[in-house]
């Protein structure tokens, strides 16, 4: 049986790991290569690197960073932030990433997802989506530019379109939950996992071990992502997995001989 994945997310700025709380306030939490090695040792199932200041000039810096990490850490690596073209995707994949995530660029140019999936395979393309509840209370809409710009586009319609375009996975961040540490947005996740047949990574709101139990018990999420609670040692990945296993949720824990 496939295991539910626990994924630390490392926000990258100028080659360092930072985490935006509510997307605004930033704190420095270390060196990316060292962090990646540490997370591998602690039992992370996969890593996500998000370049939050990605510009064309800095793309090379990011690729160099990916290359360094990929030479030392042998678990799947997803890289996102500022990927706007198929050439950008190729550049990052060649550097050693296994998957690239696209967010704003996919909203502005959905063909990017289709072209990327055709060229590299769906398993390489992650559709990252930031969404928030509509003020009217009727469903959710997606936001771009790091959660700062409203689009009016319906979340459920958009994730279905991403699947149709060939995305292999959805990385769903709830803007309402992100940074609150009050738990994942279970309602939003239930709706999205019911709407698509591709894996969904839950993001935003993890604050306790119980939140991970809740997200896997109550929604169809395949993976759960968190950043600050792992970076600052508030919660250990091992403890999360031990508790999930006790709750009969399949996770990757190696039984030593």
Within 8 A by CB and 6+ apart from 225, the residues are 7, 8, 9, 48, 171, 201, 202, 203, 206
CB of 115 to other proteins, least distance (A): 15
Alpha-carbon distance of 171 to 159, in angstroms, equals: 10
Start-end of H helices in 121-255: 155-165, 186-195, 209-218, 228-231, 237-246
From the list 11, 45, 185, 222, the catalytic residue is 11
Alpha-carbon distance of 170 to 249, in angstroms, equals: 21
CB of 204 to other proteins, least distance (A): 21
CB of 253 to other proteins, least distance (A): 9
From the list 45, 88, 130, 185, the catalytic residue is 130
Closer CB to other proteins, 185 or 222, in the complex = 222
Determine whether 11 is an active site residue. yes
Tokens of 117: 């999936």
Question: Per DSSP, what are the bridge partners of residue 49?
Answer: 10, 79
Closer CB to other proteins, 57 or 255, in the complex = 255
Closer CB to other proteins, 248 or 256, in the complex = 256
CB 226, CB 171: distance < 8 Å: no
CB of 164 to other proteins, least distance (A): 16
Residue 184's H or E segment, with its range, is none
- Residues counted in the chain: 257
Closer CB to other proteins, 107 or 196, in the complex = 196
Interface contacts to other proteins, rule CB under 8 A? 1-3, 5, 40, 45, 67, 70-72, 74-76, 93-96, 98, 120-123, 168-169, 197-199, 222-223, 252, 254-257
Closer CB to other proteins, 57 or 256, in the complex = 256
CB 224, CB 4: distance < 8 Å: yes
CB 191, CB 218: distance < 8 Å: no
Alpha-carbon distance of 252 to 2, in angstroms, equals: 9
CB of 34 to other proteins, least distance (A): 17
Active site residues: 11, 130
């Amino acid at each position: 049986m496939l295991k539910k994945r626990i994924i630390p997310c490392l926000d990258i700025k100028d080659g360092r790991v930072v985490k935006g709380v509510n997307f605004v306030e930033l704190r420095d939490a270390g060196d990316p290569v060292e962090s990646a090695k540490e997370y591998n040792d602690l039992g992370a199932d996969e890593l996500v690197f998000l370049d939050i200041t990605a510009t064309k000039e800095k793309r090379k810096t990011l690729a160099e960073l990916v290359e360094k990490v990929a030479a030392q850490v042998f678990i799947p690596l997803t890289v996102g932030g500022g990927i706007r073209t198929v050439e950008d995707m190729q550049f990052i994949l060649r550097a050693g990433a296994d998957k690239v995530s696209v967010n704003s660029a996919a909203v502005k140019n959905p063909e990017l997802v289709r072209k990327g999936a055709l060229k590299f395979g769906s398993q390489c393309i992650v559709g990252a989506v930031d969404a928030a509840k509509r003020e009217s209370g009727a469903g959710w809409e997606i936001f771009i530019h790091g959660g700062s710009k409203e689009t009016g586009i319906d979340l459920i319609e958009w994730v279905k379109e991403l699947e149709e375009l060939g995305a292999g996975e959805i990385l769903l961040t709830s803007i309402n939950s992100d940074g609150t540490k009050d738990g994942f947005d279970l309602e939003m996740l239930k709706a999205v996992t019911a709407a698509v047949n591709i894996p969904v990574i839950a993001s935003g709101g993890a604050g306790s071990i119980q939140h991970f139990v809740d997200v896997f018990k109550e929604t169809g999420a395949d993976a759960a992502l968190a950043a600050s609670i792992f970076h600052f040692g508030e919660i250990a990945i091992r403890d999360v997995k031990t508790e999930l296993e006790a709750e009969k949720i399949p996770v990757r824990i190696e039984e030593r001989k």
